[in-house]
Each structure stands twice: as C-alpha cells, then as structure tokens.
Chain A
C-alpha cells in the first residue's frame, strides 16, 4: 500500500495552510486516517496507548449491526440499501460542512448514526424524507451542540422525532408486509408505489385494536415494522456482541429491559392492562419483542455520549427509559414510545450524572 501513502503525501500540500483546497482539509484528513493510522506518537508518560480509538469503537457498533442489516435486507428488500446510501450522503454532507467551518476533523460518530438511521425508519418512506430527517437530526441534534461528544440528544432519534411530528401520516403509513416466502424479499425492491406496499399496520397498532400477532413471529421478525427493529433474535445477537466488546454498557440495557418487564408484569397482574392473550408472561414477552424496544435498548440508549457517564446513573437512566416506554405505549394515543422515552432519558441523563457525581464527591471528601 506504499503507492497510496505516496499519493496522499503528494496531494497533502494542497490541503494544508496556503494550499488551494485548504477548506477541505477535514475531508482529506478523514480519508487519510481512514486508510492509514496517524503518525503521532506519545510525548510523555504514559508512553504507550491502548489500541482502541474512536474508529475502532464506532466500527464495533457497525459490526454489531450486521445481523439487523441482514434481517432488513431479507425481510424488506433492496430498498434498504438505497436508504443507507441516502442517509450517509446527506448526513456526511452536513457533518463535513460543519467540520470545515469548525476546522476540526470529521468525527467517526456519524458513521454509526448513518447506519442506525435507516434501521429505525419505515420501509417505504420516500427517500427525500430520509435525507431531510438525517440532515435535521445531525444538524439540530448534534452539530449545533458542538459535534460528537458534546451532543445532548441522540441524533438519529431527533431525526425520527422530527419526521414523526412533521409528516405523521407518511410515517404511520409507510409500512410494508415482510416477505413470507423462504427467500424473503431478498433482491426485490418494494417502493412506495409498488403493489406490495399496502400499508400494513405494525403489531403494536394491531394490538390496540385487539389483534395480537403471534410472539414467535415477533421473535423472528417476519412482521411489519421499521427496517431493523422487527427481528428480536437478530437484535439480541448483535446487541449481545456489542455488550461483550464493552462498547455498550450492559447496565443500561439490563435496567431498561428489566424495568420494562417488571412494570408490564405488574400492570397486567394488577389488572390495569388487558391483552387479547392469556396469562401474564405471554403478553409481557410479546411486548418485549414489539416495536423498537429491543433495538432502542441495545443500540440507542447505550450511546455513551447522550446517556449518563457514571455507572450508577446508568441504572436509573435505564429504568426511566423502560418504564416511560410502558406508560407511553399503554396509556397514551401513541402506539410506540421508545423514541420519546429515550429522548426523555437523554434529558434526565445529565441530572442523574450530576446527582451521582455529587454523592461520589461527598464520599471522596474524607479520603486520603
């Protein structure tokens, strides 16, 4: 790969101080460091560094999303790829523009947002909406706060929230019935205008009308829903991997799912909720697999930047998300509540951190 390094060295002067393309230095830097590890070395103690960097850190999230991406391709077809391309193109443009204005490097954080974004969208959403949503999410949700590391809200969820409020009709009717054949919808294209795109209500919407999809379908994922959210199995596979790498924190995931589980069981057992399904555990498990809960718990709530930092606060953060989801799903007009619950969690996260840090500092006072 010597020739590539030579090419990079050859064009470098154009992008540096005094060069014609100086404004594009962040883009150049991003490409250079994509291919080659940076040449910087440590200057003082400690003289060595852990191999993990933000590129690796974010790559782990992308790798862990592979099962969900495969499930999306299998159940909903090639349109997913088009949405990924649009998502990356629109989002990266915003990201690069801001990097050039701020004269900072392009941050790896967007590569995760760019793949998460289509996974939480309805399958036949118009492509221009995909672009508008991701641009809005990155711009308002992240860049205005100062970029990755300084944002308060998860950019993908800000985008989804925006679309849900701005285009509620399209967002609620862009569902499609997944392929029921063995080959699924692999290599097929289902757009908004094709015959298959009859708007198929999601299981959560059907449940409000008293119609429950079997739990086994919910687990495998051949149901109507957002691209990446339908297959509980694939989410658990990928999410489990993410927890093992220590990139996502298990406390958040466990607290979210456990609080959701406990509250739902309590409400059903207490007679406050009734489903068209016998027993207590049955409908609870059904709910656990429904909608974006698992996807949100594994991939959205665990975003280190927008969640709390301290481990103790992660528990409370997870409990907030889990229980608010139950409340929104069952006691409001919305059928799905994970987006709002996590955004609410993002709001409370700094306060939770503040409390935990205050307690820890008080304990530290008597040390040494």
Chain B
C-alpha cells in the first residue's frame, strides 16, 4: 500500500520546541484510568509510605502493567475518586536498583532475555509500547514480527519526537540497540520525516552494526504516523504475528529501564491549541496536578481541555486532577462564543478548508484560530466523496455510513470497517457535518463484541461436547 489521503489542519497554537521543566509538586494525583489501562489491582495501603518507583497498582487485564510511584510520598486512597494521591512528595530516595534477590530469582526463571522483558514491564517502559494494528498493549513475552519506531507526531498537538530527541540522541540509539537484543532477525523500522538529513546520518552512524534498523521516510501529513497505517505501508500482515510500535519516548524509556535499571516516570507532554497563551512542551511526572499547569499556562476561560490531540483526544473530565500515565499532550480549544453573520458567503481569507471554496486557498501557510463550532447544519450525505479522498486507510466512510443507516452491519463489515484508524478526518471534512468517525467507531465496537460473543459461544459448545464425550466414555467403562 502507498500513502493515500490525509490532510493537515492549520490549527493555531503549535507548541514550540522547548521543553520546560515544571516545579516539583507537593501532591500528586495519579488517575487510575488512562486511554488503555484501568489500574484496578491496588498494591498499597492507605497511609503507606512509598518510594519513587514502587508499584502502586496494576492493571490485571493488560499483562499486569504497573502504575509506578513517580516520587516518594504517603499514599491516600480515598482523597480523590479514581485517583491514588501521593502526599508529602519528595524527590529523593528513588529506588536506584531493583531488589537484587528478586532479579536473580527472575533471571533463573526466565533467562537473560526474560529479565529484560521483566524490567521493561515492571520499570514502566512497557506502557509506551503498542500493538501496531490493534493499538492495545502487546504481550511483553511475545515475539514481534517487526518493531516500528516513530519519531513523528503529526496530530495537532502532541509531544513531538524531534523535541525529545535533540539532546538525547545517545540514549535513543542505545535504546534501539537494547530493543534489538530482544529480537532475533526481526527488523526495526524507524519512521522519520527526512532520512537523508544530517540528523538521520548521525543516527545511522551511531547505530551501525549494533541494531538492524531500516529507515523509512514519512511525508509530514496527518495521520501518516499512525502505527496501523505505517504497518500497512510496510506490507506487514496482522496474521504473521504482533508488531510492536513505539515512539521516541518509549525508546528513551527502554534505554532507562534496560541500561540503568531505573523506573521510567517522566513524561514529556505538549500544551498547545488555540486556547493557550504560550504553547510549549512540559516535562512532568504522571500525577502532576493539572490545575498547576492550567495556572501557569493560562488557558482561556470556557475552553475545552483535551487529553490528547484535536482529532482523537477525549475531553479531559473535570474530575481528573492529574496527568495520566499515557498523556502525550493537552490541547486547549475555545468553545464557540459568537454566531457569525452571513458566514457562508464571506470570502474566507482566514479559513482553512479541505475544499478550495475559500479565498485562503490562494494563501500560503497560516494558522487558524479554531473553536469547537460545528460550522454548519447536519444534512443528508450528498456523496461529495471528500471522506473517501481524505481517508488514509483506503476505506469508504460514506458507504459505511449508508450501510449503518440501513442497519446493514454485515455489509459494513465486508467494507472493512475494521481498517479504520479512527483519525477523524472524515468527520472533519464532511460538508453535511455527519459524524462519520463516531458511527464507524461504534460499528467497529459492535462487530468486535459480536465476534467475541460468537467465540465464547463456540468455546461453550466445544466444552459441552467434550463433557458429553467424557460422560459417554464413563458410561462405556461402566458397561
């Protein structure tokens, strides 16, 4: 497959390339939920004193991925709902090494490769890994058919890979080598914006001979950095085994966990979007109070704060008090305030559109001040084909919309609704303002649920048959 579709939105408030270190907090609010994880298995008691790197909770459904204490402090379980609160936070006493005995014990059990995977998981580096096709957490003990590493971040706005890389190139290449040691002959693909740049050559020289890395040049168009799109671009098939996908921060975390055996409790996140005064990058730890970030970066009043980017991020609930373990950026978008007078016949010099129906198409690059406005009324589909043109996954959103409208769920499945990468571009460009993404996501979930039910039913039948056979055998024996 070649890259197709895609579209860049010229949203105002792009984070600059600085990384600002936020002041040390007094209290940390660690949310028990993030995009993929629900840390329901709490490992600490109320009032317990923990050190930096201790495991606070685990997610039993996701290979027991841990929630680590980013700092030393005192645990409060009831202080805020769905949060573990750490009071009297102190930076020192970070657990430098994992307990020696524990390590030896595990090494005996798992071997040299096993210990590395164990370290990745328990030191908090594994949560940076994704399965390229499903987006879920991959099995840390599995063997991937390939690893995709991406330094890009094309959705407005998420923490940029280049910003994190600039001063930590050595850690990055060492991280790649560490990953290579987990593999046999499987390749590592490194997705970069420009593979002939000086920077790319620097990486190439540093890793020569240590890791088998293939560089992949990616055009800077949203959402070409999507892992599923990259995997399909590389002609990798889901049936040939899992594909691990990881971003710059994940490689740096792997380096920290495997080279230094230190817990990974730092997150670089972006603060961007129309509604923020000075968009930039922040270095924080999970649980960092969102209110302090808000205070320092003066979000516009009545702005919508998103956990993630403008296309795929969810609204950050009021109740969430701290940065979660998977947060890559906070995007601030003002709510629509004024209704425009005769908006549809204005020339549109400052309006960026996928179609060329506005004067802005004569203009070079500019940044638009966008709000949450729907900018039009809902209408039936007029079959303009914009959604199909813009779709990076090569499916036909309007067709799936029509199937779902007629309740033809099987036809929607035939039309490969499962290939959708949920980038949201179809909803964005639709002149009839149909929320295609939501409809497609709902259909995907429904189909996945039905498939799971069928699988369960089959298992049940299988079991019943076995039981029946055993009963017969027993009867025969009696005879």
> What is A's interface to B at a CB cutoff of 8 Å?
1, 4-5, 33-57, 59-60, 105, 107-109, 146-150, 244-247, 249, 304-305, 307, 309-311, 357, 360-361, 364-365, 367-368
Contact = CB atoms under 8 A, between A and B. Distances in A.
Given A44-B438, A45-B424, A51-B348, A56 B374 contact: no
A57 B336 contact: no
Contacts of B193: none
B207 to A, nearest CB: 30
Interface in B1-42: 1, 9, 11
A302 to B, nearest CB: 11
Interface stretch (B81-89, B108-116, B376-384, B466-474): B376-384
A37 B340 contact: yes
B229 to A, nearest CB: 10
Interface residues of B, number: 75
A126 to B, nearest CB: 33
B163 interface: no
| B-side interface mostly | loop
Contacts of B383: 149, 304-305, 307, 309
Please list the 9 inter-chain residue pairs (A to B) with the smallest Cβ-Cβ separation, ordered nearest first: A53-B376, A149-B380, A46-B424, A55-B344, A41-B372, A36-B339, A37-B343, A40-B374, A37-B340
B428 A38 contact: no
Given A46-B310, A105-B377, A107-B379, A367 B431 contact: no
B293 interface: no
Nearest to A108: B379
Contact of A148 (B331, B342, B380): B380
Contact of B399 (A33, A147, A357): A357
Contact of B341 (A1, A43, A55, A365): A1
A50 B384 CA distance: 14
Contact of B355 (A107, A108, A247): A247
A360 B313 CA distance: 31
Contacts of B416: 361, 364-365, 367-368
Contact of A368 (B232, B344, B374, B389): B232
Contacts of B428: 46, 48-50
Nearest to B351: A51
A56 B344 contact: yes
A251 B380 CA distance: 24
Interface string B335-362: 1100111111100100111111110000
B357 A54 contact: no
Nearest to A8: B339
Contact of B380 (A39, A46, A147): A147
Given A247-B357, A310-B385, A53 B419 contact: no
Interface stretch (B93-101, B255-263, B264-272, B390-398): B390-398
Point out which of A4, A51, A357, A361 has the most chain B C-beta atoms below 10 A from its C-beta: A51
B424 A53 contact: no
Given A247-B355, A368-B237, A50 B304 contact: no
Contacts of A36: 339-341, 343
Contacts of A246: 355-357
Contacts of B315: 44
25 contacts: A37-B376, A38-B339, A41-B373, A47-B306, A47-B372, A48-B11, A49-B374, A49-B375, A51-B348, A51-B375, A53-B344, A53-B375, A53-B432, A54-B382, A56-B376, A57-B357, A57-B431, A105-B379, A107-B380, A148-B379, A307-B383, A357-B399, A361-B415, A364-B416, A367-B394
B356 A368 contact: no
Interface string B205-244: 0000000000000000000000010001000011000000
Contacts of A47: 304, 306, 310-311, 313, 331, 333, 372
A39 B343 CA distance: 12
Nearest to A42: B372
A35 B313 contact: no
Contact of A37 (B306, B373, B435): B373
B324 interface: no
B278 interface: no
Contacts of A311: 385, 389
B372 A309 contact: no
Contacts of B399: 309, 357
A97 B430 CA distance: 27
A41 B424 contact: no
B148 to A, nearest CB: 14
B408 to A, nearest CB: 13
Residue in A5, A44, A50, A361 with the greatest tally of chain B CB atoms within 10 Å: A50
A59 B385 CA distance: 18
A149 B381 contact: yes
Contacts of A309: 383, 385, 388, 398-399
Given A36-B340, A305-B383, A48 B312 contact: no
Contacts of A60: 357
Nearest to B304: A47
